[in-house]
Amino acid sequence: MTDLRKHDPNKVSNPDNNIFGLPTNEEDSRLIIVPVPWEVTVSYGAGTARAPEAILKASLQVDLFDPDMPEAWKQGFYMRPSDKKILMKSDFLRKEAELYIDYISRGDEVAANQFMCKALKEVNEGGEYLNNWVYEQTKALLEKEKLVGLLGGDHSSPLGYLKAIAEKHGDFGLLQIDAHCDLRIAYEGFNYSHASIMYNALTEIPELQRLVQVGIRDFGSDEWEYVKNSNFRVITYFDKEIRTRQFEGQTWKYIADEIISKLPEKVFISFDIDGLDRKLCPFTGTPVPGGFELDQVFYLFTKLLESGKKIVGFDLNEVGIGGDTDWDANVGARALYKLCNLLATSNS
């Protein structure tokens, strides 16, 4: 049995240990991180399927002392190894998706090409497979009374987990940090696209009472209409709107408190790293100018915790891999640690 009381958080992290250098195992840990190495439908930059391993390595440089939640890590955090079969399936289907995206971008008719019809069918079946896999993995952990964090991979990854959360907790709300609405219907023909995750969640999970989106700055007219016609089931705080309100004198505290007031008592956090300023995530898949500093997002999360609302789960996704540094993974590891501390503290 792991006894974290004997672990010295100030020593150099042992690379043979688990996430954040903790000498943990799954059985004794309160919070389990499930990596999802999947990026089949990404439509611009790739690399996020291999982010979990990069984040694991970078996490060894994260100091365990969090002044806001100094004891949270002692509940035990454990990250499972990435499933190699899921990664291989992602790599294979990604190649098919790339060919398909290139084909339709040229205006060619899918129905006239047998190979493209087959590719689309296989990619959509792959999305269903992943959703079921994530659902089964997370459901089993929730039944063991574990807390669960999901680590992507692209933003299509959490749908199965959200379904498991609904079964476990009933009605809940979702706080989304993102540059994009992700409300597109079967984007590019892919039913479970990374750009459709929130549309699919709202459509398939009636227990999802409200979606509150924060930092949105790149969206289509169809998504704009969806938000307007949602009868406030979707409330979107656009990046431009937030900045304008701050320029005119409102504080981030005032806006953050307002955002939190729109959420129900149980809250799931979905953190797409591209919600941050690109300097913090240069290799994320679909970067957009603008975005938050990391401490702004952490402030919002801390205020959510202080509000007394219960955080029931989280996903962190779209962390990119590229270049000759591990900067994206470094930022991702710190975001992951904060999310773990928040989830553990909210449920202690």
How far apart CA 150 and CA 101 sit, in angstroms, is: 27
What pLDDT is attached to residue 183?
96
8 A C-beta contact, residue 298 and residue 183? no
Q: Report the chain's mean pLDDT, rounded to a whole number.
A: 94
For residue 312 the two structure tokens come to: 């029931």
**Strand, coil or helix: 323:** coil
What pLDDT is attached to residue 324?
75
Helices 197-204 and 159-169: angle between axes, nearest 10 degrees: 30
For residue 248 the two structure tokens come to: 């005119």
How is residue 106 annotated by DSSP?
A: T
What pLDDT is attached to residue 101?
87
What pLDDT is attached to residue 240?
97
The proportion of the chain whose per-residue pLDDT surpasses 70, expressed as a percent, equals: 99
Q: What is the DSSP string of 136-201?
A: HHHHHHHHTT-EEEEEESSTTTTHHHHHHHHHHH-SEEEEEE-SB----SSGGG-TT-GGGHHHHH
Strand 172-177 versus strand 208-216 pairing type: parallel
pLDDT in tens, 213-226: 999 999 999 999 99
What pLDDT is attached to residue 6?
83
Query: Is 60 exceeded by the pLDDT of residue 72?
Result: yes
Which residues, at least 6 apart from 100, have a Cβ–Cβ distance to it below 8 Å? Answer: 110, 116, 119, 120, 123, 188, 189
Query: Is 90 exceeded by the pLDDT of residue 295?
Result: yes
pLDDT in tens, 131-173: 999 999 999 999 999 999 999 999 999 999 999 999 999 999 9
What pLDDT is attached to residue 104?
85
Average pLDDT over residues 225-245: 97
Average pLDDT over residues 304-326: 93
What pLDDT is attached to residue 1?
55
Q: Which residue has the higher pLDDT, 107 or 205?
A: 205
Domains in the chain, ordered, with CATH? 25-346 (3.40.800.10)
**Strand, coil or helix: 114:** helix
Q: Which residue has the higher pLDDT, 111 or 262?
A: 262
